[in-house]
Amino acid sequence: MTTAAHRATPTDPADLAVPASRGGCPFDPPPAYEQALHTAPVTRAGLWDGSSLWLVTGHAQVRAVLADQRFSADARHPGFPFLSPGRRELVTRATPTFLRLDGAEHARQRRMLTGDFIVKRIEAMRPEIQRIVDDTLDRMIAGGSPADLVSAFALPVPSLVICHLLGVPYEDHTFFQSRSTALLDLAAPAEDVGVAQRELTDYLRELTGRKRRHPDESVLGRLAARPDITLEEAAAMGLLLLVAGHETTANMTALGTLALLRNPEQAARLRAEPGIAKGAVEELLRWLSIVHLGVPRVAVEDVDLDGTPIRAGEGVLCMVSTANRDPEVFPGGDRLDIGRDARRHFAFGFGVHQCLGQPLARAELQIALETLFRRLPELRLAVPYESIRYRTDMIVYGVHELPVAW
Amino acid sequence: MKVTVDQDRCCGSGQCVLTAPEVFDQSDDDGLVRLLHPGPPPEQYASVRLAAALCPGNAITVHDA
């Protein structure tokens, strides 16, 4: 716990910006946020639109905000902080899903899906996930070395899995992947994000409408068949699951691979100790924190946050990347150590909005990374490390391409 | 140790099942927490406490004897 003496006077928001520039290491949070973690874990920062908010960087403080219903996830509340023009655009046009709802509205929608993502149901999917990972890797290998790991492996694996689970035709992947990219692009003009959102919504409304008339056993099939949900809601929830279901795991797979290639002793441990994949994935989730811009909330009541008064209507941004490096919880947390107990990380968020698909993401990452490093013991970068382009320009962090040889 | 769960607070994250599978389960229907052992044996105490700490909905309460 940070003592009051450590809480320096709030920084000038102009000095602390969201997003902030990364330092020399692409795996570490921006140095300005790391400094805030050590000096002022609740402080002011400036957003792209000229507004300012509370930047929360410490583990205890992030946990306190995300577990507290007085901090709302509903972006329709005045003062909610938007991370890009596109994010703001989406709130004005999109049907809200449980991601951006509170209380009973949130619970109603989320509980239509919690049964689909329970641990034992996902565990039962492991043979199918393993088959998809092996088939995808076979195709990458058959295409010859070098290859782009993102387009040949990291993106197709979760796309195939989520299509299988949701009942979305994988043949449409070029369409939905390109629109997902537009949705998550921080620099995209609001109009372009609106168009992508509309096209994806139209697609999912058509698909769920068809499933409503001809129900199947897929997640979307069973959702569409429910009498207590509108087609608009089902389509909006389908869009959320489809985008969240492939973008996050794809980027964790590619960035996790790069992290292991840059820490060869850790990759060697992953190959040598078969049981270590589970812990290795937790540690990679902690260390990389691909939700790099943080989790936004708005206070709907006045709250005292660890000694700092937050007023109703003020925006708050929970920086999970620094909370996941907080030395109070993760001693030596700037080091990647796949043998560490990293389970207290917030890579999936915290509170009632914590990632619904986390058992699926864990299973996919464990199988994908374990299989990749086992089957390709000579896996290495095919380009200079310095030439890799990082997704600092996207809502979900990672690498744009990862050329590898084996 | 006595354990109680509050299904109204449960958001079906599955953290408890991953952390202490002998003590917690999830319903096949709605994914919400099911308590298997309200009085777990001492060798389960550490994992039950961690499960309570990891629960994102604060749905698990541990009452120490």
Alpha helices in A22-94 (DSSP H): 31-39, 59-66, 85-93
Q: Domain segments of chain A: what residues?
A: 6-405
Considering only the beta carbons, identify the residue of A67, A114, A116 that sits closest to B32. A114
Q: Report the 10 Å Cβ neighbour count for A196.
A: 22
- Which domains, from first to last, does chain B contain? 2-63 (3.30.70.20)
Over 90: is that where the pLDDT of A291 sits?
yes
Question: What are B2-58's pLDDT values in tens digits?
Answer: 999 999 999 999 999 999 999 999 999 899 999 999 999 999 999 999 999 999 999
- The predicted complex's ipTM stands at 0.96
Tell me if B56 and A120 make a contact (CB, 8 A cut-off): no
Tell me if A352 and B19 make a contact (CB, 8 A cut-off): no
Band (A12; pLDDT cuts 50, 70, 90): low
Token output for A350: 């915290």
**Is some CB atom of chain A closer than 8 A to the CB atom of B32?**
yes
CB contacts under 8 A, A 121-180 vs B, are 121
Considering only the beta carbons, identify the residue of A115, A344, A358 that sits closest to B13. A358
Tell me if A119 and B18 make a contact (CB, 8 A cut-off): yes
Alpha helices in A126-276 (DSSP H): 126-143, 149, 156-166, 173-183, 190-213, 219-224, 231-262, 264-272
Considering only the beta carbons, identify the residue of B11, B19, B31 that sits closest to A115. B31
Contacts of A110 in chain B (CB under 8 A): 11-12
Question: CA-to-CA distance for A266 and A247, rounded, in angstroms?
Answer: 25
Token output for A71: 């901090």
Question: What are A61-117's pLDDT values in tens digits?
Answer: 999 999 999 999 999 999 999 999 999 988 878 899 999 999 999 999 999 999 999
Identify the weakest region by mean pLDDT among A9-18, A187-196, A316-325.
Answer: A9-18
Contacts of B58 in chain A (CB under 8 A): 67
At the fourth CATH level, the homologous superfamily of domain A6-405 is Cytochrome P450 (1.10.630.10)
**Is some CB atom of chain B closer than 8 A to the CB atom of A33?**
no
Residue of A nearest to B56 (CA): A351
Question: What are A379-404's pLDDT values in tens digits?
Answer: 999 999 999 999 999 999 999 999 99
Identify the weakest region by mean pLDDT among A3-17, A122-136, A140-154, B4-18.
Answer: A3-17
Interface test with B, best of A219, A328, A354, A366 (most B CBs within 10 A): A354
Say what the pTM is: 0.96
